[in-house]
A and B are shown apart, each in its own frame.
Chain A
Amino acid sequence: MELDFSQQIHYVWALLPEIVLCVWGMIVLIAGVSGKHQDADDGAAGDPSFGPKSDLGWLTLLGILLAAGANGWLYGVNEVGDSSMIAVDGFRLFANWIFLLAAALTVLISFVYIYRLRLQAGEFYALILFATAGMMFMAGARDLIVIFLGLEVMSIAVYALAAFNRRDRKSAEAGLKYFLLGAFSTGFFLYGIALVYGATGSTNIAAINTSVASMAASPGLLVVAIALLAIGFGFKVSAVPFHMWTPDVYEGAPTPVTAWMSAAVKAAAFVAFFRVFLVGFDAAYDTWFPIMWWLAAITMVTANLIALVQTNVKRMLAYSSIAHAGYLLVALTAANENAAAGMLFYLLIYTLMNIGAFAVVMSVAHQAEERLYIDDYAGFGWAQPGIGLFLTIFLLSLAGFPGTGGFMGKIYLLQGAADSELWVLSVILVLSTVASYWYYLRVAWVMWMKEPTSKDQHSLVVVPLPMCLALIVCVGLIIYTGIFPGAAIDFARSSVQGLGSLGGGMLGLGL
């Protein structure tokens, strides 16, 4: 099928996955307030994975599956030209797979959590679907305004999710903090868009590209605009020094939400970040190269250093997620095809290992968010060998241990950096990775090498069936991509083919 966008209906086809998700979000929302799924569910005995509330979870998964089908269908579609508001290219579709996977995994790990914390399942799942639609808009947009719309759709849903556990002060605080700072940074982002429009006369990325490349854009405005957009994205990907919200929000938000936002929100922001900077501002590489270079370097170093002294595992993972943003920024700085493919691959792996790790953290934390400290993991491995092993694999992968997907991801990022001859950044990446071994494996160490403080310390840890499913998917894919990364990286590589004029990377800059 050909999409030429001269007919309005073609936008519907191009946006089919997003539309499916939005519609399905409303269905889930309505189903959630129907009598069967009332909040007053006092839960019959037995496995809550299959209670009435869980029906909503399975319903949500069905919606995600439909959206995935729509996303797959889009592979059979050709778009005419490359300047429409909505892109139908491999880059977007690959990113969509990541978002859908993240959403599905999050739903799977949330079943019992929602039940135990007596959260409103319908709203929870609907918000996840809406936010995922927002992410997809960000990934598919070829217009800054659409990116902004997507960003806001996503952000507002995530603010609400961060504060979702209204009985927990920390959660409310997290939501509010995220909201206030998010609003603040959105201001910069929006101002950046306005200045881009001022400089180039358009908000369309293809048009911006042409304008910047032909030197028609007003240089002064453009520099400020690029800086402001970098700040806006920097906040969403939590690059240092715009990371201050991250540990608080990640710690305070309900753990499934943390798992999901640390993976999916970051992925969405990075995908849009790439498209805007690599395609739109391709010709202005000299301008943004130093900004990205320093953001990447500072983010990697600071986040890894701070993570070393954390004792709260959720916070540790929060700093770890900041560190991973730093690694991904290296790919952005490198700005070449290998780096872009490496970024997609890394985001995929990162989604798997991070959601997996948080899922286990959630199990260990018991009922509420109470057991989050490293000492709470003492002897956990022997008490729950199955998920202990899983957590160990996630941590090894996060650290980048050979044989896991995380290792291959870092190799591809380094490859991208090497192609643009970013030697110093590569060395910083390697060094900070080596440092990160310490705080990841410390958890594994405590888990297997220390005695539990009491005999029944881990007896309340439950791993319901849906979560098991999610964990097995995560572990399986991490090991698979660690040993046979060929298929995934080839897919990522073919996905960045149609991205547009890549290769702004200046060679031999020597930084």
Chain B
Amino acid sequence: MHASLAAVLVQGGQATAEAAGHFEPFYPGLIILLPLIGFLLNGVLALRHGVASATAVRGGGELDLDTGGRPATHTLPSLIGPGVMLLAFLLTVVNFTRMLGAHIEEPVVISYWTWMATGTFTVDAAIQLDQLSMIMMMVVTGVGFLIHVFSVGYMKADSGYPRYFAYLNLFVFFMLTLVMGSSYALMFVGWEGVGLCSYLLIGFWFSDKEKADAGKKAFIVNRIGDVGFLVAMFLLYVTFGTVDFVAVFHDAETLAYGGSLVTAIALFFFLGAAGKSAQIPLYVWLPDAMAGPTPVSALIHAATMVTAGVNLVARSSVLFALAPVAGATVAGVGVLTALFAATIALKQNDIKKVLAYSTVSQLGYMFVGVGVGAYSAGVFHLMTHAFFKALLFLGAGAVIHSMHEAYHSTHSHEDAQDMRNMGGLKAHMPITWVTMWIATFAIAGIWPFAGFFSKDEIIWQTAAFGGATHAPYPMLYTVYWVIALAAAMLTAFYMTRMMVMTFHGTNRTGEEESKHLHEAPVVMWAPLAVLATLSVVGGWINVPESIRESFLGLGPLTSEWLHHWLEPITAQATHIQAANLGELSHSAPVGGGEFMWALISTVLAIAVVATTFRMVGQKEIVPAAQDVELTGFAKVLYNKWYVDEFYDRVIVEPILRTSRFFWKVIDAGIIDGVVNGVGWTARGVGFVISMFQTGSVNTYAFILTVGVLVILGVSIF
């Protein structure tokens, strides 16, 4: 069967004919395969240049140019890396347009070979093409391609250039496996794979210990989430005997609504999602993950991988709809994360840290959306967030790039990411400035930018869900709604603060340095421009019915397209919800309809942006080197509520202590035995005798005997 693999992939596999309808997939296997090919090619190049590169990187984070023939290391990866992405994106577009015209109701599953078969349980290596996976594929390959292009400029001076593209391609391969796999098992393969790539890319500049530690942290925290995923998958297997999406969702409604089993499954999946998507309490790894190159932060830690958890919940919408407690938990964790992370972002000075906490916060919003049963709203925000957050990160990358070169030119060791060292950059980098403001308006939820429509819909759905006829905890959802509104205001504040500190006011980089500040090259600003366009118009594809005909809805330009597009995916969950909760509310807890609250929130957001602009603009900001330490509550926020310290003290240290205890006490004398054994021989004592005298073999025999006695005792009595 393996021999036919290539043939099958090229022929497009055997689609289940009856489910396919009019939809003819166009080489969908190639979409996954292309990044893998890119990885292999770039990997070979990386290994060839590995030794030289690794040597060149040495020297305390200072990135020297590759001494061994730079064109050779750069030309091929620059072609292969973005090239395979472009091809994959084009293929996705072809499939997408075909699906657009087909109106399929059932997912199209294309099976290549049987991956696992144990008795009645089989998992096929199969991909599932449906409306949700299509949206995710568009985001992953589209945004992914832009970020690959940006990287060509950003990583230009890096000696690990081919390795970087190899990892990035590998990441896309696993991410596509994650979103395209037809079963939880395949999703898990992708899930683990993207985690691995994230780990590799966070630690990309491995000469720096802090950065290497960040990779480890991400790794460990994600393992906790993985346990949740695995347990949930195991429960599904035990319950249904399968982990295929189609089969599971088909049988899912046999489970009791609100039953403990489905609640447990949903909650364990959410634990997995919380790990990957950085929700409380597992969010701690994401801000540290900013140690990786900035395009990586844009691709993995903002646009795609961290949204995998949202994708998982949206994909499992049936299970979550059946478990209202799990839904409330998802929404609750989401809304708390949105608020909590936003408060931390208020006081950060590192531009990437602000964006990192902002990402955590926005992911919280997505979880609120999928938690209150508004799955299409969650996916909608996922998509718009991919646009504007990728843009913000890439913009920040352009800024850091420029700052870095400025400091590099004077051999200064100031922090190129600290916003206190920036200011006034709009004069030097106008394109970056404009595009980042667009993204800021989008994320702040200002009409008519993309984020306005998606975030507003989530907030509105929270209110609507809480007001449903048989809503499980109406008061709780009112609280969620208020917090979500408040966090949105904080978002507008910290984003404006970031923009003002970076681009406005007077320049604080230094006199000599500021001469070297410059706009990013075209290979970097072109992706920014594309993403900026998307950040404006991206929201228009899904404007709610009730505000579409008003001026807020821009009239004929907009539609409720995404909502309808995802209907085949969410229909079952919506049905369950409607049957058990009744009609959703049409007014907010304190009155007012969707249109009114949309208007209120955008007016408030504009007001916050305007006041912040004035406030922060008037404040005197001093460069990092001269800044004084914060005090009071600001210090607590700056130190991220001391959560890392808390985890270290309460979780990490006890585990290490236990491990050492087992080693020292249970396996005592092992090391001693070896070391002493050598010592005694030196003292000229007969070797055999010394062996008996070390006590180590005696200890072993003693422990063995204790084991024997325990076993005998237990069996007899």
Of the residues B125, B691, B701, contact of A184 by C-beta under 8 Å: B701
CB pair A486–B117 under 8 Å, yes or no, is yes
In the bound complex, CA of A58 to CA of B656 (Å): 47
**Known: A231-B707, A241-B707. Contact between A431 and B227, CB under 8 A?**
yes
Of the residues A305, A402, A426, A485, contact of B658 by C-beta under 8 Å: A305
CB pair B234–A188 under 8 Å, yes or no, is no
Asked if A153 lies at the interface with its beta carbon under 8 angstroms from chain B, I say no
CB pair B715–A385 under 8 Å, yes or no, is no
CB pair B189–A403 under 8 Å, yes or no, is yes
Residues of A within 8 A of B716 (CB): 220, 223-224, 227
What are the interface flags for B649-683 relative to A under an 8 Å C-beta threshold, 1 for contact and 0 otherwise? 00000001011101100110010011001100100
Asked if B708 lies at the interface with its beta carbon under 8 angstroms from chain A, I say yes
In the bound complex, CA of A381 to CA of B223 (Å): 24
Residues of B within 8 A of A230 (CB): 711
Asked if B7 lies at the interface with its beta carbon under 8 angstroms from chain A, I say no
CB pair B707–A242 under 8 Å, yes or no, is yes
Chain B proximity of A406: nearest CB distance (Å): 13
In the bound complex, CA of A489 to CA of B697 (Å): 40
Asked if B231 lies at the interface with its beta carbon under 8 angstroms from chain A, I say yes
Asked if A382 lies at the interface with its beta carbon under 8 angstroms from chain B, I say yes
In the bound complex, CA of A34 to CA of B681 (Å): 34
In the bound complex, CA of A133 to CA of B53 (Å): 49
Within 8 A of B (CB), among A179-193: 180-181, 184-185, 188
CB pair B677–A306 under 8 Å, yes or no, is no
Chain A proximity of B72: nearest CB distance (Å): 17
Of the residues A245, A290, A302, A445, contact of B714 by C-beta under 8 Å: A290
In the bound complex, CA of A231 to CA of B705 (Å): 10
CB pair B691–A306 under 8 Å, yes or no, is no
What are the interface flags for B122-152 relative to A under an 8 Å C-beta threshold, 1 for contact and 0 otherwise? 0001000000000000000000000000000
CB pair A418–B237 under 8 Å, yes or no, is yes
In the bound complex, CA of A306 to CA of B656 (Å): 10
Chain A proximity of B610: nearest CB distance (Å): 46
Residues of B within 8 A of A287 (CB): 715
CB pair B659–A306 under 8 Å, yes or no, is yes
Residue of B whose beta carbon sits closest to that of A419: B119
**Known: A181-B704, A486-B114. Contact between A227 and B711, CB under 8 A?**
yes
In the bound complex, CA of A434 to CA of B224 (Å): 8
Residue of A whose beta carbon sits closest to that of B43: A389
Q: List the one stretch of B212-220, B408-416, B594-602, B640-648 in contact with chain A.
A: B212-220
Chain A proximity of B705: nearest CB distance (Å): 8
Asked if B1 lies at the interface with its beta carbon under 8 angstroms from chain A, I say yes
In the bound complex, CA of A234 to CA of B715 (Å): 15
Of the residues A385, A402, A449, A489, contact of B189 by C-beta under 8 Å: A402
CB pair A415–B707 under 8 Å, yes or no, is no
CB pair A415–B118 under 8 Å, yes or no, is yes
Asked if A18 lies at the interface with its beta carbon under 8 angstroms from chain B, I say no
In the bound complex, CA of A186 to CA of B231 (Å): 40
Within 8 A of B (CB), among A141-160: none
Asked if A226 lies at the interface with its beta carbon under 8 angstroms from chain B, I say yes
Within 8 A of B (CB), among A209-247: 220, 223-224, 226-228, 230-231, 234-235, 241-242, 244-245, 247
Asked if A383 lies at the interface with its beta carbon under 8 angstroms from chain B, I say yes
Residues of B within 8 A of A181 (CB): 697, 700-701, 704
Residues of B within 8 A of A223 (CB): 715-716
In the bound complex, CA of A308 to CA of B663 (Å): 9
Q: List the one stretch of A95-103, A166-174, A262-270, A349-357 in contact with chain B.
A: A166-174
CB pair A450–B206 under 8 Å, yes or no, is yes
Count residues of chain B with CB under 8 A from any CB of chain A: 74
Chain B proximity of A107: nearest CB distance (Å): 28
Asked if B706 lies at the interface with its beta carbon under 8 angstroms from chain A, I say yes
The interface residues of chain B, by DSSP majority, are classed as helix
CB pair B662–A302 under 8 Å, yes or no, is yes
What are the interface flags for A413-424 relative to B under an 8 Å C-beta threshold, 1 for contact and 0 otherwise? 011001000000
Asked if B51 lies at the interface with its beta carbon under 8 angstroms from chain A, I say yes
Residues of A within 8 A of B119 (CB): 338, 415
CB pair A227–B712 under 8 Å, yes or no, is yes
CB pair B54–A309 under 8 Å, yes or no, is no
In the bound complex, CA of A408 to CA of B185 (Å): 11
Asked if A427 lies at the interface with its beta carbon under 8 angstroms from chain B, I say yes
Of the residues B118, B659, B697, B715, contact of A411 by C-beta under 8 Å: B118
Chain B proximity of A240: nearest CB distance (Å): 8
CB pair B662–A430 under 8 Å, yes or no, is no
Within 8 A of A (CB), among B609-652: none
In the bound complex, CA of A50 to CA of B712 (Å): 54
**Known: A308-B659, A382-B51. Contact between A449 and B215, CB under 8 A?**
yes
CB pair B711–A231 under 8 Å, yes or no, is yes
The interface residues of chain A, by DSSP majority, are classed as helix
In the bound complex, CA of A188 to CA of B709 (Å): 11
Which residue, of B116, B189, B200, has the highest number of chain A Cβ atoms within 10 A? B116
CB pair B674–A248 under 8 Å, yes or no, is yes
Asked if A77 lies at the interface with its beta carbon under 8 angstroms from chain B, I say no
What are the interface flags for B100-122 relative to A under an 8 Å C-beta threshold, 1 for contact and 0 otherwise? 00000000000001111111010
Residues of B within 8 A of A235 (CB): 704
CB pair B231–A169 under 8 Å, yes or no, is no
Which residue, of B51, B219, B660, has the highest number of chain A Cβ atoms within 10 A? B51
Asked if A13 lies at the interface with its beta carbon under 8 angstroms from chain B, I say no
CB pair A412–B118 under 8 Å, yes or no, is yes
Residue of B whose beta carbon sits closest to that of A401: B192
Residue of B whose beta carbon sits closest to that of A485: B116
Residue of A whose beta carbon sits closest to that of B220: A438
Within 8 A of B (CB), among A18-71: none
Chain A proximity of B243: nearest CB distance (Å): 11
CB pair B704–A242 under 8 Å, yes or no, is yes
Asked if A441 lies at the interface with its beta carbon under 8 angstroms from chain B, I say yes
Asked if B11 lies at the interface with its beta carbon under 8 angstroms from chain A, I say no
CB pair B666–A302 under 8 Å, yes or no, is yes
CB pair A309–B715 under 8 Å, yes or no, is no
CB pair A169–B678 under 8 Å, yes or no, is yes
CB pair B116–A408 under 8 Å, yes or no, is yes
What are the interface flags for A422-452 relative to B under an 8 Å C-beta threshold, 1 for contact and 0 otherwise? 0000110011001101100100010011111
CB pair B704–A411 under 8 Å, yes or no, is no
Asked if A177 lies at the interface with its beta carbon under 8 angstroms from chain B, I say yes
Of the residues A234, A418, A434, A441, contact of B226 by C-beta under 8 Å: A434
Chain A proximity of B307: nearest CB distance (Å): 21
CB pair B226–A309 under 8 Å, yes or no, is no
**Known: A169-B681, A385-B50, A449-B206. Contact between A483 and B662, CB under 8 A?**
no
Residues of A within 8 A of B667 (CB): 244, 247, 306
In the bound complex, CA of A430 to CA of B118 (Å): 18
What are the interface flags for A381-412 relative to B under an 8 Å C-beta threshold, 1 for contact and 0 otherwise? 11101100100000000000111000010011
Residues of A within 8 A of B118 (CB): 338, 411-412, 415, 489
In the bound complex, CA of A502 to CA of B379 (Å): 50
CB pair B215–A414 under 8 Å, yes or no, is no
CB pair B2–A176 under 8 Å, yes or no, is no
**Known: A244-B700, A402-B193, A437-B223. Contact between A306 and B116, CB under 8 A?**
no
What are the interface flags for B368-405 relative to A under an 8 Å C-beta threshold, 1 for contact and 0 otherwise? 00000000000000000000000000000000000000
CB pair A177–B226 under 8 Å, yes or no, is no
In the bound complex, CA of A227 to CA of B712 (Å): 6
Other A-B contacts than A173-B674, A418-B238, A484-B115, 13 sampled, CB-CB below 8 A, are: A173-B673, A180-B701, A241-B703, A241-B707, A244-B700, A306-B666, A306-B667, A379-B54, A382-B54, A383-B51, A448-B206, A449-B215, A455-B55
A selection of 8 A-B contacts at a CB cut-off of 8 Å is A181-B697, A181-B704, A305-B663, A338-B118, A385-B47, A437-B223, A438-B219, A452-B54
Of all A-B residue pairs in the complex, the 5 with the closest CB atoms, nearest first, are A449-B206, A241-B707, A385-B47, A244-B700, A402-B189
Chain B residues with CB under 8 Å of chain A are 1-2, 47, 50-51, 53-55, 57-58, 113-119, 121, 125, 188-189, 192-193, 196, 199-200, 203, 206-207, 212, 215-216, 219-220, 223, 226-227, 230-231, 234, 237-238, 656, 658-660, 662-663, 666-667, 670, 673-674, 677-678, 681, 687-688, 691, 696-697, 699-701, 703-704, 706-708, 711-712, 714-716
